[in-house]
Structure 1
Amino acid sequence: MQNPCRALCLLTVFNAPAAASALALENIKARLEAAGYSQIREVPSGKIKTFKATRDGKERSILVDSTGHIQELQ
């Protein structure tokens, strides 16, 4: 018989990164909105978080580093 706690613990461990990642993404979007960006969408790019967003009527490419620093790409 399998230990039910083991199954629950495994489920928690494997779902934790996804939940943390979603929370981080929501925090990033909130920071971008506070900086005046709208229509924010993540662009898949591996480990670095890049986004497309609109500011002052123009679409811009944005890089957000692991510390939350926002940088527009040229």
Structure 2
Amino acid sequence: MRKANWPILEHGADINAGERIMRTRNISRTIVWLALLGVLSPAHALTQQELIAKIEAAGYTQVSDIKSTPEGTAVKAIKNGKEVRLVVDSSGQIKEQK
């Protein structure tokens, strides 16, 4: 049963140009927000194998002692023959700790 004050719309009938523009803008804004959320939020956390591969691709070897911390994932690795401590943050950035 149809409510009396709801118009039946067929292919844009009974919608003036202003309403059509506003609906299009709202839909466009929603699409943009959803796209931004997808870009800014990682789809998934890196697996341990992906994490090691990323660190090795950055020139580190012997990745070990992998631990989760509030700053990100902390690891030990070797670069240029020296042991270094790294943190890989939620965006995938690798940072050496002093």
Coarse TM-score class (shorter-chain normalised): 0.5 to 0.7
Aligned to 2:96: 72
| Unmatched runs of 5 consecutive residues or more in structure 1 | 1-19
| Unmatched runs of 5 consecutive residues or more in structure 2 | 1-43
Contact 1:38 1:54 in 2 (8 A): yes
* 1:23-60: CA deviation from partner (whole Å, max 9, x where unpaired): 62111100111111111013434453100000000000
Aligned to 2:48: 25
Larger gyration radius, structure 1 or structure 2: 2
How many residues get paired?
Answer: 54
RMSD between superposed Cα atoms in Å:
1.9
Structure 1 vs Structure 2: percent identity of aligned residues?
37
Rounded to whole Å, the distance in 2 between the matches of 1:44 and 1:29 is 12
User: What TM-score results when the alignment is normalised by the length of structure 1?
Assistant: 0.62
Structure with the bigger percentage of helix: 1
User: Which structure exhibits the higher relative contact order, with contacts defined as CA atoms closer than 8 Å and separated by 6 or more residues?
Assistant: 1
Structure 1 residue ranges (4+ consecutive) displaced by more than 6 angstroms after TM superposition: none
Rounded to whole Å, the distance in 2 between the matches of 1:28 and 1:43 is 10
